Structure 1
């Protein structure tokens, strides 16, 4: 069992243990991990307003393995294209509110790794891979400068995800996203009369937003 205890530790403490070299997971480990992710989805859903997107097991399954192998490969300095393709495959399903939220259960931990990897080796192949992932999954990577428009539209199409996304923009004080014409009214509405407390310089930068 490798993936299941990794996920349990990631969610509960943030301190994880993993093997030094990438390898395939056993079927019973993957099954247990899927059960754990479904439980995590149910618990996390209690923190979102309204009805949350349903659990998408294949998307959550892909993302959990992606995060595990990303951490492993961050320790391997000699990456080649074959290793990247084998252990960090692209997501091939539809990007929907359900997949976005299910992927985010573990992808929400990747921005910290991206910042660390950029600091250690900014030209590394893994950094380029993570930057591309950040663009594709904007809900999990608020603060990243590049955003896939279609993926963001899928986030905004779901009321609960839209509220959570705007809340993340405010908490991260992501000025670049908040300035966007389609997001600025949502940020304004969410801040209401609390901008001075939640985002003290909000009024200053929106003067240049449009």
Structure 2
């Protein structure tokens, strides 16, 4: 299976197979770009407004790294040095709303991937790398445990991303994300008069627990 086919199956939530580790051609990358662009146009229709613009460079960066990480999960012979060489370099630019939104197009699968990686080998260095990604990309890592000092300013400051972030926290019931008062306030606004829609979350929000 090539890179573009991987993305098609990933977005369709079907079973995904992988080729052995090896260099990716420019043609494969361009085919992946086409899949990302097509999927993003559909994905944004269901996202809270205003939706950031799609940054294809960031989208490709995230997609390639997720593809490689999935390969490393399956091909266990790779050592820690090989994993770090391939996956450790950070995104080469500022984390703007467009970048966070575009990387999330594929990085939103991180929680499922790290669970799969842990089940195969809890002490694998790949698990540590996925955990680092989770801390670096908080929009994508809702539901992942043991993440600290999440850089959520860019999410909170953008109304569309803030709503998307809060909706995921509510849907998954990620109580660990409630330590930040800005998140509490945003969740209180999202639930409004209906805290019973997320009772476990609402119990942690002062707006719903403090007598008026």
Residue in 2 that maps onto 1:127 = 127
What is the alpha-carbon distance in structure 2 between the residues aligned to residue 148 and residue 178 of structure 1?
12
Residue in 1 that maps onto 2:10 = 10
Contact 1:136–1:148 under 8 Å retained in 2: no
Output aligned runs, 1:38-187, within 5 Å: 38-90=37-89, 91-144=91-144, 145-149=146-150, 151-187=151-187
Contact 1:138–1:147 under 8 Å retained in 2: no
Runs of 4+ in structure 1 off by over 6 angstroms are none
Residue in 2 that maps onto 1:27 = 26
Displacement, 1:119? 2.8
What is the alpha-carbon distance in structure 2 between the residues aligned to residue 69 and residue 203 of structure 1?
38
Any idea what the Cα deviations from partners look like across 1:9-32, whole Å, max 9, x if unmatched? 11013321211x211111111112
TM-score, length of structure 1 as denominator length: 0.90
How many aligned residue pairs are there? 206
Contact 2:178–2:204 under 8 Å retained in 1: no
More divergent stretch after superposition (83-92 vs 52-61): 83-92
What is the alpha-carbon distance in structure 1 between the residues aligned to residue 55 and residue 149 of structure 2?
21
Match status 1:201 vs 2:200: yes
Structure 2: gaps of 5 or more residues = none
Contact 1:59–1:103 under 8 Å retained in 2: yes
RMSD: 2.0
Structure 1: gaps of 5 or more residues = none
What is the alpha-carbon distance in structure 2 between the residues aligned to residue 165 and residue 108 of structure 1?
11
Indicate the SS of the match to 1:54.
Answer: coil
